[in-house]
Amino acid sequence: MNSIASQMPQFAPVVIVDGVDECSDEQLQRRILAVIDAVKGCRVPLCFLICSRPEALIEETLYQFKDSILRIDLATLNDSHRDVEKYLVDQFSVIASKQDLDPKWPDQEIIKEIVFQSSGNFILPSTLIRFISVEKCNPETQLDIVRKLKPPENTSPFALLDELYLEILKQPRDQKFLKTFLALLVGRSFIKLAKLHEDDATLMNISEKDLHTKLRKMRSLLKFKPFIDVYHKSFLDFLQDSSRSGQYHLFDMFLWRLSSLIVMRHVILVPDLNPS
């Protein structure tokens, strides 16, 4: 490693490690960060930009690094609010153009209101834009729905985001099916079984086409390609926090029981895993 270091240019390249918190395996999170720390110890002239939500395990591991680190909380930077505002202006402009709406829609005050509610975080704006852009829905009506949401008066920075999540979750007609699939989705994140996502439809005892149809109104929160998954891990966190998700809360004991059933059924249904 030291011989490599001597051949590096004067200005150290920057290695960007984004979304460490998106890795569901905490041991893997530790190993990734430990490798970075080890590289530093070998005097390799690399700078690492580690992007993550401030989760306890990640923060504790970073603070154990031998050398000092520079921590930047994006939510406290004025630039983050400007970035969110630019994102919203650009996205609303695209929607207005596609739907033949007034180019000045929505009012600037509405945009500033959303920027303030976002606390400089892109999770709320990106979810909101996807909700407003849902096919066969009027963007103005969708925006009005969001603006009428009344989050409880508390200090949680996720208050409006949680209300938006709840509003979207109410959309599908078959709520029992939705809650079962959400349990499968969260349970799947606990299971280290390759390609389990490929059997979502089979595990739900439904065709893939019908599965997509039933979840059509969840497209603001779920991406469907290459397979059904959340856009952001924050939605899984929301579902596992009873104070945030209410009737949609998925408690640990139920998830572990479901996870066991999923694995058993997966083994039975997948020929490669079933020796009989």
Residue 139's pLDDT is 93
Query: Which two tokens mark 172?
Result: 């599908």
Return the amino acid letter for 66: K
Residue 144's pLDDT is 93
What mean pLDDT do residues 124-138 have? 90
Average pLDDT, the chain: 80
- Residue pair 237/231 in contact by the 8 Å Cβ criterion: no
> How many helices, marked H, and strands, marked E, lie in the chain?
14, 4
Query: Which two tokens mark 103?
Result: 């180019």
Three-state secondary-structure class, residue 17: strand
Give one DSSP letter per residue of 200-259, joined into a string: HHHHTTS-HHHHHHHTGGGTTTEE-SSS-EESSTHHHHHHT-HHHHGGG---HHHHHHHH
Least confident of 119-123, 167-171, 189-193: 189-193
Query: Which two tokens mark 248?
Result: 């949609």
- Residue pair 33/62 in contact by the 8 Å Cβ criterion: yes
Does the structure show a pLDDT above 70 at 64? yes
pLDDT confidence bin for 273, thresholds 50/70/90: very low
Residue 12's pLDDT is 74
Separation between Cα atoms, residue 131 and residue 161, nearest integer Å: 12
Does the structure show a pLDDT above 70 at 268? no
pLDDT confidence bin for 157, thresholds 50/70/90: low
Q: Is 30 exposed, middle or buried (0-12, 13-18, 19+ CB in 10 A)?
A: middle
Helix axes 159-169, 139-147, angle to 10 degrees: 130
- Helix (H) / strand (E) element for 16: namely strand 14-18
Does the structure show a pLDDT above 90 at 152? no
**Under 8 Å CB-to-CB from 132, ≥6 apart: which residues?**
95, 139, 142, 143, 146
Strands 229-230 and 47-51: unpaired
pTM of the model: 0.66
- What is the distance between the terminal CA atoms of the chain, rounded to a whole angstrom? 49
In tens, the pLDDT along 35-50 reads 888 877 677 778 888 8
Separation between Cα atoms, residue 215 and residue 206, nearest integer Å: 12
The four Cα atoms 73, 233, 122, 214 give a dihedral, to 10 degrees, of -170
